[in-house]
A and B are shown apart, each in its own frame.
Chain A
Amino acid sequence: MKTAPPLSPTADSQGRILARGLTRRFGAKQALAGVDLDLGPGGVIGLLGPNGSGKSTLLRILTGLTQADAGEVWIDGVRLEADGLAVRQRCSYAPGEIALYGELSGARMLEFLLRGREPAAQARGIELCRRLELPLERRVRGWSHGMKRQLLFAAAMAPGVHVRILDEPTEGLDPKKRGEVLAILNEDAQSGTTILLSSHHLGETERVCERILFLHQGRKISDETRASVLERARRVLRVAFASPPGSAELAALDGVLRARVDGLQASIEMESADPRRTLAALSSAGGLPAPIAIEHGSLSLTDLFREFYGVEAC
C-alpha cells in the first residue's frame, strides 16, 4: 500500500492548518477515517456535516484536546505533538459544548479562559465582550445560553493568533447577535487570520465562508470553494415525475453528468448551468414518465448536500 509522504510545512505555513490521515475510533465507532486538510492562510472555512459526522472530534484533534489514533497535524507552522501545547499557543479554540464555572463572574471567567495568552488578549477580550453587551460583572450562572456562547467566542477571538478554530460559534444566538458575531469574524478574517468554524447554520456558512468542507461518517466528502459550491448548485435540476423514473435513463440523457432518484423526485446534475439542453433531452426522451414539476437554481446548501451525497447537512 502506498503511504502518503509526511507533511513538510515550509516558510509559508504561517496561518495554515495542515493535516494528513487523521483517524480516530471511539470503541466501535469510527469517528474519523483518514481526514486530510490543507487550509489557509487566511479566510473563513466552514466545516459542515450531520450530527456524529466527526466535526467536533476533528476540531478537538486539531487543538490537541483529543489524540488521533493516526495522522499528523501542523498548525501555523507548528507540529502537533505530545499534549498539543505548542499548537494551542498558536491558535485559539472555542468549544462547542457550553459548560462554564457558574460561580465565577463573566470577567473572572474570561480571565480563566485567557490564561496562558499574552496580556493584551485580556483587554481585547473585555472589549469584545462589551461590543457583545455581555454583563461581565455578573456571575455566569445567571447568563443565558447565548451569552455564554458569546463569552467563549470572545475568548477565542481575543488572542493575537493566526489561526482560530471555532466549534459552532453562533449556535443558540438570536439573529441580531449572530449578525454581530459574523461581523467580528469577517473583520478578523480580513486581517489575514485563518478561521475554521463548524456550523449548523447553513445560511451563515454561505454568507461568511469562502471554502466549505463537508464531513460525513468521519470522512471528508467535499472540499470546495463557496463559488464552486454555488456553481454546482446552479447545475442541479430537480424534477418531479408522475411515476418513478429510472435513474439509468436519466443519467443517459444528453448533458447529464449523473442522476439520483428518490421516489417520484429526481436530482439531475448537468454538465453546465444552462438547463436548456437537458430540458430538451428530457422532453424528447421516450422511456421516461412525464415530468410534472421542474425546479432549477433554487437549491440551498442543505438541499445541495442532500442531492449530491444523500445525507443531511445538519
Chain B
Amino acid sequence: MGGELRSRWWLGLAYFVTLEVLLIGALAYWPQFSENLDKLRSLVPLPVLQEMADEIEASGFPAYLAAQHFFKGAHSIGGLAAVLFAMFAVALEVQRGTLEIWLARPVSRRRLFWERWVAGAFWLTVPVIASTLTVPLIGSFIEERVALWPLVLCAGYQSLFLLSIYAPTFLLSCWWANPLGIGFTMLLVALFQMSLYLIERVTHYSYFRLADVRVMVEIYDTETLPAGFSAVLLAIVALTTGLAWARFRRMSP
C-alpha cells in the first residue's frame, strides 16, 4: 500500500495546491462579490446559473463557498483528478505490457486491486477534505465565520460524488487497454452532463444535480447528508467497484 500511495503523492499534492489556490482566490473575492451581487446577478446568462445566484443571495457565504469550492473547484479539478487517477490504474499496465510482471509476484490479486483502488481514492478525496479544512482559517481573513463540522460533511459528500466518477473510470480501466480513450470518453460524458445541467428544461437529468450548490447548502444548513442521493452515489461506487474487481480477478496477461 505504501508504494502505491507514494507513487502518486506528487499528483495529490499538485491537486491540493490547485484546489487551495482556487479557494484562496475565490474567498478573497467574496467581499467584492457580496457587495456587487445584484449587478453580477443581472449579468448571469442562464436561468440555472441565476438559480445559483439566488441561492448565494439567500444563504450568503456558505452558498458562495459551495459554488466556488465544491461546484467549480472540486467538480472540475476533482473530476479531472478522478478520471486521471483511475484511467491509468489498470489500463496502462495492459497497454505497456507490464500487467504480467505486476501480477506474477506472490501477492494476491485482491491486495493488488485494493492497493491501487484505495491509493487513487485517497489522493482524490484527501486534498478536497484538506483544502476544505482550511476554509475557517481563510474565512477569518475576510471576517466570515464558518462552522467546521458542516464543512466536513460537505467535503465528505463531495468526496463521495468524486468517487462516483472515479469508480466507473476504474471499471473502464479494467476493461479497456486504452487509457487515453477512457479519459476522452469520461471527458465527453462530463461535458454532456454539464450541458444538461445548464439547460433549464433538462437540468434535472444531469448527474451534477446530485452535488450542486443547493444540495451543498442543504447539507451545511441541516448538518446531515442527503440520504437518497448518498445512497445512489454509494450504490454507483459499490456496483462499479464490484464489477471492476470481478473483471480484474480474471484478467490474463
Q: Which residues of A does B touch, CB under 8 Å?
A: 60, 63, 65-67, 83, 85, 88-89, 93, 95, 97, 99-101, 112-117, 152
Contacts and interface: CB of A to CB of B under 8 A. Distances in A.
A97 B105 contact: no
Given A85-B106, A99-B101, 6 more contacts: A65-B252, A85-B108, A85-B109, A88-B106, A99-B97, A115-B105
A167 to B, nearest CB: 9
B39 interface: no
Contacts of A115: 105, 107
For chain B, the bracket of interface size reads 10 to 19
A67 B110 contact: no
Contacts of A66: 252-253
Contact of B98 (A63, A83, A99, A114): A99
A116 B97 contact: no
Judged by DSSP, the binding face of B is loop
A100 to B, nearest CB: 7
B103 interface: yes
B253 A100 contact: no
Nearest to B99: A99
Interface string B237-253: 00000000000011011
Given A100-B101, A101-B98, A95 B107 contact: no
B100 A95 contact: yes
A65 B104 contact: yes
Nearest to A98: B97
B96 interface: yes
Interface in B84-105: 96-98, 100-101, 103-105
Contacts of B249: 83
A289 to B, nearest CB: 52
Contacts of A113: 101, 105
Contact of A67 (B101, B105, B250): B250
A117 B108 contact: no
A117 to B, nearest CB: 7
A46 to B, nearest CB: 21
Scoring B101, B110, B250 by chain A CB atoms within 10 A of each residue's CB, the highest score goes to B101
A116 B106 contact: yes
Scoring B105, B108, B250 by chain A CB atoms within 10 A of each residue's CB, the highest score goes to B105
B105 A88 contact: yes
A89 B104 CA distance: 10
28 contacts: A60-B100, A60-B252, A60-B253, A65-B100, A65-B104, A65-B253, A66-B253, A83-B108, A83-B249, A85-B108, A85-B109, A88-B106, A93-B104, A95-B100, A95-B253, A97-B100, A97-B253, A99-B97, A99-B98, A100-B98, A112-B101, A113-B101, A113-B105, A115-B105, A116-B105, A116-B106, A116-B107, A117-B105
Scoring B96, B97, B106, B107 by chain A CB atoms within 10 A of each residue's CB, the highest score goes to B106
A89 B105 CA distance: 8
Give 4 nearest A-B pairs by CB, closest first. A99-B97, A116-B106, A66-B252, A83-B109
Nearest to A91: B106
Given A65-B252, A67-B250, A99 B104 contact: no
Contacts of B252: 60, 65-67
A293 B172 CA distance: 63
A83 B107 CA distance: 10
Contacts of A116: 105-107
B63 to A, nearest CB: 45
A93 B103 CA distance: 11
Nearest to B102: A112
Contacts of A88: 104-106
A89 B106 contact: yes
A121 B252 CA distance: 26
A83 B100 CA distance: 13
Contacts of A117: 105-106
Nearest to A99: B97
Contacts of A152: 101
